[in-house]
Structures are given as C-alpha cells and as structure tokens.
Amino acid sequence: MPPVFAHGALRLYLLALLESGPKHGYELIKALKDRFGGTYAPSAGTIYPRLGKLEEDGLVSTEPAGRRTNYRITAAGLAELDRRRDDVAGVENGIAVSMQRRDVELMLQQFGDDLRAELRRYALREPIGPVTLETVRTVLEDARTAIRSTLRH
C-alpha cells in the first residue's frame, strides 16, 4: 500500500491543521481521521515525532493543557505555511482524489456484494438460467465499456 502522505506532506499538513488554533496530538489524529472519512488515522508514533521536530524547528510551540500538551503554530510556522500554500493545496487535492477513489471502490464493492447475495438467494430456490447469466455478462461488459469511455475524456 502506498504511503498516505508524500515525504514532508504530513508535517506541512499538521501546520495547516494548527493554523485554526492550538490542538493536542490526539485532536490532530482525530482531525486527520475525520478528513479521511475514517479510513486513515495516523498512530501516535507517527504524529508525536513530527510534532517534536516541528517544535525543534521553531514552527510550533507547546503549552500545557491539564494532562495534555497543546501544540500552537508559531509566527515562523505561519510564515512557512504561507510560503507553501500551493503545497498545502496539493496535499488537500491528493486527499480529495484519494477519497474519490475510495468512494468508487466502496460503490463497486457494495454493488458486487449486493448482487452476489441476491443471486445466491435466488439460486437456493432454483438454478440461475442462461438468460440471467447472459444478462449479467452483457450488463457488466456494457458498464465496463461506459465507465472506460468516461476515463478517456
């Protein structure tokens, strides 16, 4: 499976998430999980080292918040973010494309699961006839052709 973020993109995206205000690590993890529709949630072992490096680089600062530590973007972090707005937009676009691909895959999976279940239920009563088999073959091939034709545009 390819990485979710290209090299350096998660670091940049963390700065973008902190732009709206201070957050602790698990809020950032939840924000990422929400942004990916629950399909990706980075581990604490992924997030905290990057936050530590952002702090070392002076791009975020920390402040105690009860038992947690909040991370706040610094002026240097905002300047970095401003310089790299196009890169942030690219990361956002990559996330959107990934979510679209996931949606298509889920639709295909659901369609296949539903049709398979329906055909199995029918086959418990009587065999699936040649007309149904040919209809499935024709409809699926027509769907493949129609979908491929939209990919070429």
User: How does pLDDT run across 92-122, given as a tens digit for each residue?
Assistant: 888 888 888 888 999 999 999 999 999 999 9
Please identify, among 52, 83, 114, the residue that sits at the C-terminal boundary of a domain: 83
**Domain shared by 58 and 14, yes or no:** yes
What pLDDT does residue 4 have?
Answer: 65
Half-sphere exposure of 97 (CA within 13 A, CB side): 8
Q: Is residue 4 part of a domain?
A: no
Taking residues 23-27, report their average pLDDT.
94
Write out the residue range of the structural domain in which residue 115 sits. 97-151
> What is the pTM assigned to this prediction?
0.71
Number of separate domains in the chain? 2
Q: Where are the beta strands (DSSP E) in 7-143?
A: 23-24, 60-65, 68-73
Q: Is residue 1 part of a domain?
A: no
Taking residues 41-48, report their average pLDDT.
91
What pLDDT does residue 9 have?
Answer: 86
Taking residues 126-136, report their average pLDDT.
94
What pLDDT does residue 148 have?
Answer: 92
Q: Is residue 45 part of a domain?
A: yes
Q: Tell me which of 33-42, 80-89, 114-123, 128-137 is least confident.
A: 33-42
> CB neighbours (10 Å) of residue 40?
15
Amino acid found at 89: A
Amino acid found at 25: G
Q: Is residue 2 part of a domain?
A: no
Taking residues 24-33, report their average pLDDT.
94
Q: Is residue 57 part of a domain?
A: yes
**Domain shared by 16 and 66, yes or no:** yes
